[in-house]
Structure 1
Amino acid sequence: MRKTVPTLLTMLLIVSGCSGQTGNVSNTQAEKEVVDSKPVTLKLYNYGALNEEMYQRLFVEPVKKKYPHITLEKIERAKVPPEQIAVNGLELDIITGWGSLLDQFADHKLLADMTPVIKKHNIDLNRIDTANLEGVKLQSGTISPGGLYALPFGYNFYALFYNKNIFDKFGVAYPPDGMTWDDAVALGRKLTRNVDGIQYKGLDPEGVEKVSNSLSLPYVDPVTMKASLNNDGWKKVFQLLKTINDIPGNEFKITNHSGTVNRFMKDKNVAMLAAPEVLNSLVNLDFDWDLAEYPFFQERPHTSGMLQTFVLQLGSNSKQPDAAMQVIQLALSDEVQMTLSKSGNMLSVLKDQTIQKSFGMEHPLLKNKHIEAILKTKAAPYVIQTRFTTKTRNILELKYRDFAEGKKDVNTALREAQEEAEAYIASEKKN
C-alpha cells in the first residue's frame, strides 16, 4: 500500500512532473537510487519478434550509450525453446515476446509479477497506450489476478498492400482508404482476370484468423474455458471468406503468413493483400506497390485486426532485476520509442502523437508510400488467449476448408467445429 506521507524524493518527483518534464522515464532520481553501476551482464531471451537490426538499434546501442556498465547477451528461441529454459536451469533477466504468449512462459515458471518493480522504479504507466496496456493486464490476469507480468513495447499493424502494376494494367483506380470488406470484394472482382495465361487474383485476405481478428472473436471463452465457435460472428467471417474465394479465379489456400506474403511478393499476380506484419517479409520487390487502409466490417469502422502487443518481461530467476528494469525503462523512453516508430518495424506503444506520426519515416520500403493509411485505423480490442486456443483455431480452419470446398454448409461446419473443439478441451482438462 502507498505511504500516506510523501517522502522528500516523492515531493520532488511530483513537482518535476507538474513542471512539464514528462518525457524519458529513464531519467528519474528514483531509478538512480535503486540501480547501482557495477558491471553486469543481462541475458535477454528473444522469442522471435526482434530481428538483429531491431535488437541492435533498440536495445544494444541505447544501453551501451546510456548504461555502459550493462552488457546484453541475446538468447534465441530457435536455439533454446521455452520448455528447455527451466530444464536447463537457464537464468534469464529479460524475456521478449508477444503478450498472447504470457501463459506459455508462465507455465514454465519463467515470469515474475512486475508490479513491485514498476512501483520501485517509478514507471509512469499513463504514458502507455491504454488498449495495449489493458490487453497485457487481461492476459496477465490469467496467471494471477491483479498481476502485471509484462510491459508493452510495440504492436503490430494491418494494411491493404496492393500491386500498382496490376491496377495500371487493367486501368482500375487504386484502392482508397476507408473501404469496407464489401467495397474491397467489389474491387477485387474487377481485378480477377486471366490474361495471357496468367491468373490475376484481385483480393487475398490471408485467412480465417486475420479476418476474424477485426471482430475480436475468441476461439475459447476465457471465463468458461469452452469453445466459442458456433455463433454469428464466426458465421460472418466464414461467409465473407467464401465470397472472396468464390470469385472465379480468385481461389486462395489458407497457408502460413510466409506463404501468403509469397503469393503477393513472388508470384506477383495478387492485386491486393490484406494482412498484418508484411513489411519485414518484403524483399527484392521488382514491381510498384503501395498501401491503403485495411478493410473493415461495417459495424466496426476504421478498425483493423486485433492488438498483438510485443512485450518485455522480467525473468523470475533474474539475479539482477533492478538492472533489467533499467533496460526496460530505457526501451520505453521517448528516445527509443521514437527510433522504434521511425523504423517502421512496429508501432510505438506510447500515447505521444509526435512519436506515433513518425511511424515508418526511416523504413527504406516506406519511402514515398502512403503511410497515413496505417495510422487511420485503430486496432480491435484484445481477447484473452488460452492454452486451448491454438488447437481450437486449427480445428476451425479445417472446417472452413470443408465449407469453402462445398463439402459442408456453414451451419454444419461451425457446429462440427464446436463439437470437436469441446471434445478436445474436455480431453485436455482430464490430463
Structure 2
Amino acid sequence: MQKTWTFKSFTILSLALLVSACGSSTPGKNEDSSAKPSPAVNNQPVTVKIAVHAGIVNDADMKKYFIDPVKQKFPHITIERINTADKGSTLNELVAAGSIPDMVINYPYNLTDLTKLGIDYNMDALIKTHGIDLNRISPEYLESIKVVNGFNYYTGLPMNNNTFALFYNKDIFDRFGVPYPKDGMTWDEVREVAVKLTRNEGGVQYYGLFPDNVYRGAYQASLPFVDLKNNKSVFQTEEWKNLFQLWYNLYAYPGAPVMPKELNTVHGFKTGQIAMFSGYSGQLPDLLGMKDLKWDVVTYPSNKVAPGVGQRVDSPMMSITSTSKVKDAAMQIISVLLSDEVQTEMTKNLQASVLKDPKINAEFGKATPELSSKNVVAFTKPKVAVLKSFGFVPVGSAAGIPIAAFTDLLYAGKDVNTVLREADEKMTKVIAEELQKIK
C-alpha cells in the first residue's frame, strides 16, 4: 500500500533521518606514534563481522558490492553481516554484550557513537599500509570525517553518497507555457520560475516549488548549528537570518497561499500539484513506477553564499573498530569498496560514487534503462557541502530546533526575528543541559 505522508509526518521523518580536510595526519588515538609500517598482511582464512543497518546496505547490495567482489580479490576473507535493525543487535547492545564487530557502517554523525563507546580507531596507519590513495576521493568527504569528531585522523572512510537534485513535472510546465528549469540554477532563479507556476486554475491550486525544510539550506551553506568554541547558540546571526528569509521566500508567493502542511513533496508532485521539488536519488525508483508522470531532473539549486555546492555529505562511513583482531582484512574489504570497479557498479545503480573520477560519475543510473532519456547525471554534478560538527549537542536537538522555528514562520504567523530568537533560547537551554551532563 502506498503511504500518503503529510507535511507534519514528513518533518518528523526528516528529523529522524538526521539522527538523516585532508591534511597531514598526526599520531592519534590507537596509533603508534613511531608510525612504523604494519607487517606484511597475513592472508590466512579469516571472518570479518560487519555491523550495518539493512536500510543502509540491504542483503542484495551486501552480496553485490561486498561478498562477491571481496571473495574474488581476497578469497581468504569471509564476511559475516550483522543487521543492526535486528532485535538485540544495535551497536550499543553489541558492545554491552561483548560482541563488538570488526567493522561498523553508518552515517557521518554516527562516528561520534564509536567514540562514546570507546571503539573508534585511528585508521591512518592501515590506510597507508594498504595503499589507499585518498587523493582519489573527493576532499569534502574526508574533511567531514575529521570535522565530525574533531580528530586530525580518520576513523572511517566513505562508501557512497545519497545525492540530491531538483525534480520537475513536465506536464505542469507545458500546461502553463513555462520553459523547463536548467542545470546550474540558483535558488533565486528557481523561485522566479516557481512564481510563474504558482496559481489556482480550474479549482486546483498549483505550487511551483517544494524546497524541503530549512535545515537542508543550512547544510548546503555549511552553517554551524552551535558555536562549539564558546558553547553558544548561533541562530540570531546574520547567516541564519538570511537563510530563513531565503527559504521563506521559496514558500511564499504573491497572491498565493503557503503550501499546506498536508501536501507532502512526493505526494503533491505525483498528483500534479507541485511543479518542482528538491529530492534525492533514492526517490528515483518510486517515480519510475508512475508511468503517466512526465518528469526530469536538473542540478540541485545553489545558494549564492556557496556557489556550485549541492547538498551536504551524506555518505555511509566504513569504520574499523579498535577491538578488531582482523583489521588488515577489514581494510582489504574497504579497499574493494573504494575500487573503481565497485564504485562504478554502485554509481550505475543510483548510489553516487565518492571518487573524483568524472568517468565514474558519468555512469550514474545507467543500470536502469528507463532513466536513459533523463538528465540523472545532474545528481553528480554539484560539489557536496562539508559537514559541521554538532559536538556535544545531540543531532536531533540541534537540527530539530530550526525545523520547528521554520514551521512557526510558515504557519504560526511569527516573523523571522521572533522565531530565531525563540530558537536561540531553546538552543541555549539545550547547551546548558548537555554541558551539565558532561561535567
1:147 aligns with 2:156: no
Letter in 1 for 2:360: I
Return the letter of the residue paired with 1:290. Answer: D
Shift of 1:252: 4.7
Contact 2:111-2:155 within 8 A present in 1 as well: yes
Distance 2:392 2:169 in 1: 38
Match of 1:270 among 255, 269, 274: 274
Q: 1:102 maps to what in 2?
A: 111
Q: For residue 297 of structure 2, what is the amino acid of its counterpart?
A: L
Question: CA contact under 8 A between 2:361 and 2:377: conserved in structure 1?
Answer: no
Q: Deviations over 1:97-154 (max 9, x none)?
A: 112221123212232221232233232222222221122122243xxx3331001222
**TM-score under structure 1 length normalisation:** 0.84
Q: What is the SS of the residue equivalent to 1:237? A: helix
Decide whether the 8 Å contact of 2:215 with 2:402 is kept in 1. no
Given that 1:306 and 1:379 are in contact with CA atoms closer than 8 Å, whether structure 2 keeps it comes out as yes
Say if 1:238 and 1:119 are closer, same or farther in 2 by CA, change over 3 A: same
Q: Which residue of 1 aligns with 2:307?
A: 301
Match of 1:18 in 2: none
Assess, with a 3 A threshold, how the Cα gap between structure 1 residues 365 and 345 changes in structure 2: closer, same or farther. farther
Consecutive unaligned residues of structure 1, counting only runs of 5 or more, are 2-6, 11-29
Distance (Å, rounded) in 2 between the aligned partners of 1:199 and 1:35: 66
Shift of the alpha carbon at 1:407?
A: 3.2
Q: Which residue of 1 aligns with 2:80?
A: 73
The answer as to 2:185 corresponding to 1:176 is: no
Per-residue deviation, residues 188-226 of structure 1 (Å, max 9, x unmatched): 122223334433221000111112222111111243333
1:238 maps onto 2:244 in alignment = yes
Task: Return the alpha-carbon distance in structure 1 between the equivalents of residues 348 and 362 of structure 2.
Answer: 9
Change beyond 3 A, Cα 1:350–1:54: same
Aligned twin of 1:26:
none
Task: Please report the TM-score for the alignment, with normalisation by the length of structure 2.
Answer: 0.83
Contact 2:282–2:350, Cα closer than 8 Å, also in 1? no
Contact 1:279 1:345 in 2 (8 A): no
Matched residue, 2:6: none
After superposition, residues 18-417 of structure 1 pair within 5 angstroms as: 33-38=40-45, 40-47=46-53, 48-79=55-86, 80-141=89-150, 145-247=151-253, 248-253=256-261, 260-265=265-270, 267-279=271-283, 282-283=286-287, 284-286=289-291, 287-346=293-352, 348-364=353-369, 366-388=371-393, 389-417=395-423
Counterpart of 1:203 in 2: which secondary structure?
coil
Query: 2 CA distance for matches of 1:253 and 1:49?
Result: 29
Amino acid at match of 1:351: K
Q: Deviations over 1:312-369 (max 9, x none)?
A: 10023222111111111111112111212222222x1222232222222223453211
Residue in 1 that maps onto 2:3: none
Contact 2:281–2:379 under 8 Å retained in 1 = no
Residue identity matched to 2:108: G
Change (3 A) 1:67 1:342: same
Aligned-partner Cα distance in 2 for 1:120–1:331: 17
Cα deviation for residue 400 of structure 1 reads 1.6
Is the Cα contact below 8 Å between 2:225 and 2:235 reproduced in 1?
A: yes
Q: In the aligned structure 2, how far is the partner of 1:261 from the partner of 1:107?
A: 37
1-side partners of 2:119 and 2:249: how far apart? Answer: 44
> Is the deviation greater in 88-97 or in 364-373?
364-373
SS of equivalent residue, structure 2 residue 316: strand
Partner deviation per Cα, 1:374-425 (whole Å, 9 max, x = no partner): 3432122332233413202212221222222253221121111111111111
Q: Distance in 2 between matches of 1:277 and 1:394?
A: 24
1:280 Cα deviation (Å)?
Answer: 5.3
Separation in structure 2 between the aligned mates of residue 82 and residue 225 of structure 1, nearest angstrom: 29
Give the Cα separation in 1 of the matches to 2:258 and 2:281: 23
State percent identity of aligned pairs.
35
Residue identity in the other structure for 1:200 = Y
**Aligned amino acid, residue 240 of structure 1:** L
Residue 160 of structure 2 aligns to a residue whose secondary structure is: strand
> Do 1:213 and 1:380's aligned partners in 2 also have CA atoms closer than 8 Å?
yes
1:277 Cα deviation after fit: 3.9
Amino acid at match of 1:291: V
Shift of 1:372: 3.7
Q: Deviations over 1:14-59 (max 9, x none)?
A: xxxxxxxxxxxxxxxx99x313132x32221114322333322211
Q: Which residue of 1 aligns with 2:12?
A: none
Structure 2 counterpart of 1:95, which letter? V
The answer to whether the 8 A contact 1:220-1:228 is kept is yes
Query: Greater CA deviation, 202-211 or 52-61?
Result: 52-61
Letter of the 1:321 counterpart: K
- Aligned partner of 2:14 in structure 1 is none
Aligned amino acid, residue 270 of structure 1: I
CA deviation after TM superposition for structure 1 residue 242, in Å = 1.9
- Whichever residue aligns with residue 116 of structure 2, its letter is D
